[in-house]
Structure 1
Amino acid sequence: MFRTAELGRKVSKAEFEELESALRIEMVELQQTLRVADFPVILVFAGVDGAGKGESMNLLNEWLDPRWIVTRAYASTSDEEQERPEYWRFWRDLPPKGRIGQFLSCWYSTPFMEFATGAIDDVTFDERLNRVIAFEKTLADDGALILKFWMHLGKQAQKKRLKSLEKDANESWRVTAQDWKHWEMYDSFIHTAERLIARTSVPEARWTIVEGQDHRYRSLTVLCGLRDALSRHLEHRRAVAETRTRSRHGVEAVSPVIPDVGANLPTVLDTLDMTQALDKKAYRTALGTQQGRLAVLQRKAHRKGVSTVLVFEGWDAAGKGGAIRRVTRALDARQVQVIPIAAPTDEENAQHYLWRFWRQLGRAGRVTVFDRSWYGRVLVERVEGFAADDEWRRAYTEIRDFEDQLVQDGIVLCKFWLHITKDEQLARFQSREDTPYKSWKLTEEDWRNRERWDTYEQAVNEMVERTSTHTAPWTLVEANDKRFARVKVIETVANAMEKVLG
């Protein structure tokens, strides 16, 4: 594939200047249109050392308004980054909707270098690339425009380019001993690049091979490629928005309320024994034992740098808050953070829905507790129509991939659904109404959600069936008796930590 990128194509200075003014105006106007669009642009620059990756990124910052461009170039991972899953730093740096993100030495860099140097085999390389493909598909499915430019030079052209930079007093800093070492490995690098590009050039995120020998030709290839792709994507997103608007209006014209699809069908929740309970004496004994056990295990986890993520979902008034307080009481407050999840903020709405959860992951040895979580996409957002059908349906795969990354990084992940019966919920609602210091917990939304019980129950059933995996299983907690539920939660967390810590 790289033979066609070694044709020595050039653009004269006169040709470039003839196109420059109009193209620059087009690019600025497109950037202003993008600023109010519902998607980000992600540009990936990779390729041969000296082929113009950095120059291309600088050119975009020069031609466009850099205030609306996020530029990231990655070096070795910092201590903070090493204490979290690999893709944490990439999720953290993603541009919000309406902006352009430029990425150099990003998610392709490590698998590329490891395979080119023989540190990993073919199977591992393909697995790493599969992770990349899944990441980019997740972003593209959410609307992101992803453009990937592979900047290419032939071996002799690269040598000439490196020597030219070394002779320039203002540019010599760009060339390092590592660049020359990579040049000596040119054939291995090209073999790796061909395999990487063939595997990861997919419809959602295609590679463009850019001949980098002539800087004007290279610049026009990148600029025109961005212009044309952005213009097409803006039109595509307008069409998608119009279709969804017509669809919503059509549904509302027939019925303003989403029907309770699947109501009265048996669910996994029906298999739970909701009579399980603990008396006060047994509860105090079991609670003390399990909290003490958890405290010892967390100190060990902190020393070993093993993180824990706890996810709490459940019916309104099911006792999530009480269970969380009993868990945190056993832990060192300096090592635990509870994250309450409500409706997303404007900043969060400008990103993929998983972004706000990635950025909250704690450092090594800490415990992060999510009071409601990413499962909102397939529960409240699904049932209430806040997410389109295609959005919540693909979320099952996205969530499984997200959780798989957490577990592969060594994180202890526990997911709890606290279940109560409909009658028990009504009793707790009434109790809250009659108790002054609890009445604030009860809202009109709680009563409205209760009316959709059957619809939510079917959504919960599908959520459990599709996201309870071997590495990240759901724990269904019989929570009609709060004491039983609290002990079961803490014991489950302790068992999971013990399994990982040994």
Structure 2
Amino acid sequence: MLKDYDFDKKDPALSGKKRSELGSELAALQRRLLDSDSSMLIIVDGWESSGKGHILKDLTRELDPRYFEVNVFDDALDDNDKHPFLWRFARDLPGKGRIAFFDRSFYSELMNDLKVNDDRLEHHLDYISFLERMLIADNTIVLKLFLHHSEKTMEKRIEKLKDDPYREFLITKDDEKQLKKYSKYLKHFDKILGMTNFEASPWHVISTEDLKEASREALSIANSILKSHLEQTAQQPAAPIRPGLKEKPLSKIDLKAAITEEEYEAQLEKLQEEAGELVYEMWLKKIPCVLVFEGTDAAGKGGAISRLTRLVDPRSYDVATTAAPTENESRYNYLWRFYQTFPIKGKMTIYDRSWYGRVLVERVEGFTPEYRWAAAYEEINEMEHNLVHDGLLIIKFLIVIDKEEQKQRFKDRENDPEKNYKLTDEDWRNHEKFEQYEEAMNEMVARTNTKDAPWIIVEGNQKEYARIKVLKEFISRARTFIDKREGKKQEK
């Protein structure tokens, strides 16, 4: 894309256009976007000293500032390496009706690293591909602009900045490095652009030899793509074809599984102490951990969580209770709110319900069209794979009870003044849909039980049995993960 780029090629259609007119056209389209179910992400990446600031100013000059954000992603801050790769970018994605501009992006770190190995490059580009595909499926337009200039122009701009005492600070080591190794960076950029020139989110290479012409081209591309998107007939895609389940995982479990009170009392505290020590060890070794708790309503998720954390240092973990998304959260992709709470290195986040609501309650209650929840299985698998690749331990518990046990627990709550606050009319309505939820859980387990993040199905009819099983499985999985990680370190 860059190797044979022709800097002299001009678009005659733009020669008579004023930037202010093109900007006003974009502002009119922005107003239409506000009333739609869509959003727009505009990535402005490219060479250092290539005029990103100039282009961004012209792209935003005529827009209503209440409905767009410009996010600057410069050198990674010290805190960013404690989080998963896409964490800081996912936080700033646009909500419905809005436009987000990224000054540099998730591509920049990879573009600036000539020594990045092929495995790391391929993994992170797969991660980026996953994010872009998911955003597009959720009606977000992804526009990627790469600003390109010649070596001679780059040299002139750097010298000009050096001569300006008020702008000299804008020159960074990356500017100098790219200029010094221009041909190597050209080849490296070309490789990355070629690998990520996706059909649904292609790169648009813009020459910034003349910054005013570059702005006209950027505005014209943004107008054309946004207008085309808004004029498309709103047609709901067909749901992906899902092969039938060969077996139902929940049919294999024995809900009569139980232990005696003596066995429970004899094991509980010892296991809790061991769990607390393991969480402390993960904190020392900077291992982030995610625990997911899903299950039948009234299955005892809260009780299992409180027994697991009883002797764990409260500074080392957070519990994220997932309720229905707020009005603000509903403006974003369904995974957006979870990226806000993924743990930093050494911390543990426990999810009392999670992103699996997409294929459970949203599916059963009809909150989400089938084509979107059916696509979520693969999206979730990719997200979890990437988190594990980033060094996270993911342990997923599905606590299951039968319909009669659920009914009895609802009745017990109804008659207990200390617990009746937990019972709502919605719980009884869900009880009538027990079989539908069971079907959804079976498919969830079958389609998201991966090597990276397998499901642990917990027989929950007896709470004591379920709590002990959760503790034992947590200890076993955490110990194995730590030992495997330490073994890999020693091999290196």
What is the TM-score when the length of structure 2 is the normalising length? 0.91
Residue of 383, 386, 389 corresponding to 2:364: 383
Give the superposition deviation at 1:15: 5.4
Task: Measure, in 2, the Cα distance between the counterparts of 1:11 and 1:169.
Answer: 38
Give the superposition deviation at 1:447: 1.6
Give the superposition deviation at 1:478: 0.5
Task: Measure, in 1, the Cα distance between the counterparts of 2:390 and 2:115.
Answer: 22
Q: Is the 8 A contact 2:59 2:218 kept in 1?
A: no
| Structure 2 residue 430 is the aligned partner of structure 1 residue 449 | yes
Partner of 1:6 in structure 2?
7
Once the two structures are superposed, residues 48-74 of structure 1 have per-residue CA deviations (whole angstroms, 9 ceiling, x without a partner) of: 222222211122232323332221222
Residue of 271, 276, 280 corresponding to 1:299: 280
Residue of 144, 161, 164 corresponding to 2:160: 164
Letter in 2 for 1:190: L
Q: Is the 8 A contact 2:127 2:386 kept in 1?
A: no
| Structure 2 residue 430 is the aligned partner of structure 1 residue 429 | no
Q: How does 1:80-229 map to 2 (within 5 A)?
A: 80-114=79-113, 117-121=114-118, 123-229=119-225
Task: Measure, in 2, the Cα distance between the counterparts of 1:483 and 1:109.
Answer: 51
Once the two structures are superposed, residues 21-80 of structure 1 have per-residue CA deviations (whole angstroms, 9 ceiling, x without a partner) of: 432322222222222322221111111222222211122232323332221222333343
Partner of 1:256 in structure 2?
none
Label 1:425 to 1:178 Cα distance change in 2 as closer, same or farther (>3 A). closer
| Structure 2 residue 48 is the aligned partner of structure 1 residue 49 | yes
Q: Which has the larger displacement, 424-433 or 171-180?
A: 171-180
Matched-pair identity in %: 35
Task: Measure, in 1, the Cα distance between the counterparts of 2:88 and 2:21.
Answer: 37
Partner of 2:488 in structure 1?
none
Task: Measure, in 2, the Cα distance between the counterparts of 1:54 and 1:25.
Answer: 19
- C-alpha RMSD of matched pairs (Å): 2.3
Letter in 2 for 1:161: R
Give the superposition deviation at 1:362: 2.5
Q: Secondary structure at the match of 1:71?
A: strand
| Structure 2 residue 1 is the aligned partner of structure 1 residue 26 | no
Partner of 2:384 in structure 1?
403
Task: Measure, in 2, the Cα distance between the counterparts of 1:78 and 1:171.
Answer: 22
Task: Measure, in 1, the Cα distance between the counterparts of 2:174 and 2:27.
Answer: 37
Q: Is the 8 A contact 1:97 1:350 kept in 2?
A: yes
Task: Measure, in 1, the Cα distance between the counterparts of 2:39 and 2:234.
Answer: 17
Task: Measure, in 2, the Cα distance between the counterparts of 1:455 and 1:295.
Answer: 37
Label 1:208 to 1:10 Cα distance change in 2 as closer, same or farther (>3 A). closer
| Structure 2 residue 335 is the aligned partner of structure 1 residue 354 | yes
Once the two structures are superposed, residues 279-302 of structure 1 have per-residue CA deviations (whole angstroms, 9 ceiling, x without a partner) of: 111101111121010011111112
Structure 1 regions of 5+ residues with no counterpart? 248-261
Q: Secondary structure at the match of 1:490?
A: helix
Partner of 1:234 in structure 2?
230
Task: Measure, in 2, the Cα distance between the counterparts of 1:49 and 1:77.
Answer: 16
Q: Is the 8 A contact 1:10 1:216 kept in 2?
A: no
4+ residue runs of structure 1 moved beyond 6 angstroms? none
What is the TM-score when the length of structure 1 is the normalising length? 0.90
Task: Measure, in 1, the Cα distance between the counterparts of 2:268 and 2:361.
Answer: 32
Give the superposition deviation at 1:169: 4.6
Partner of 2:487 in structure 1?
none
Structure 2 regions of 5+ residues with no counterpart? 239-243, 484-492
Task: Measure, in 1, the Cα distance between the counterparts of 2:476 and 2:36.
Answer: 47
| Structure 2 residue 323 is the aligned partner of structure 1 residue 327 | no
Task: Measure, in 1, the Cα distance between the counterparts of 2:343 and 2:174.
Answer: 34
Task: Measure, in 2, the Cα distance between the counterparts of 1:409 and 1:4.
Answer: 36
Q: Which has the larger displacement, 220-229 or 46-55?
A: 46-55
Give the superposition deviation at 1:225: 0.8
Give the superposition deviation at 1:378: 0.5
Q: Is the 8 A contact 1:38 1:143 kept in 2?
A: yes
Task: Measure, in 1, the Cα distance between the counterparts of 2:130 and 2:253.
Answer: 35
Task: Measure, in 2, the Cα distance between the counterparts of 1:24 and 1:155.
Answer: 30
Q: Is the 8 A contact 2:161 2:168 kept in 1?
A: yes
Letter in 1 for 2:190: E
